[in-house]
């Protein structure tokens, strides 16, 4: 059963999440930066504990070091095997690769 919930909308970005089974999928649209912090945190926590997390960056046009930090905090909280980053645009994927996130997360 899908349960979509909008989380936050701030300064050119929007974060929402949905849960299907035991997997929470978090979508970040627009800029994934410090302004997304409250929305990203809320989206990751709104369903309680989940077994798996998918961060869908198909709508993300930009991310900065604070976004990288948010992803690392999520990984620390739920375990690296349970977090996948998917649907990255080429520019976003390049930033993740430069930051060596391919060794920390499953990137698809």
Residue length of the chain: 108
Q: Model confidence at 79, in pLDDT bands (50, 70, 90)?
A: confident
User: What's the rounded Cα separation, in Å, for the pair 102 and 73?
Assistant: 16
CATH of domain 5-107: 3.30.750.24
Domain boundaries, the chain: 5-107
Looking at every residue in the chain, the average pLDDT score rounds to 87
pLDDT tens digits, one per residue of 10-61: 345 799 999 999 899 999 999 999 999 999 999 998 888 788 999 999 999 9
User: What's the rounded Cα separation, in Å, for the pair 99 and 50?
Assistant: 26
Query: pTM for this one?
Result: 0.86
Q: Which of 77, 7, 72, 3 is nearest to 35 (CA)?
A: 7
């Amino acid at each position: 059963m899908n349960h979509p919930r909008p989380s936050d909308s701030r300064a050119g970005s929007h974060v929402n999440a949905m849960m299907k089974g035991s997997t929470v999928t978090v979508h970040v649209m627009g800029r994934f930066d410090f302004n997304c912090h409250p929305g990203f945190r809320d989206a990751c926590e709104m369903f309680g504990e989940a077994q798996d997390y998918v961060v869908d960056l198909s709508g993300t046009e930009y991310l900065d070091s604070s976004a990288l930090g948010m992803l690392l905090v999520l990984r620390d909280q739920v375990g690296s095997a349970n977090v996948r980053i998917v649907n990255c645009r080429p520019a976003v994927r390049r930033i993740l690769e430069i930051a060596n996130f391919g060794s920390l997360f499953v990137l698809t």
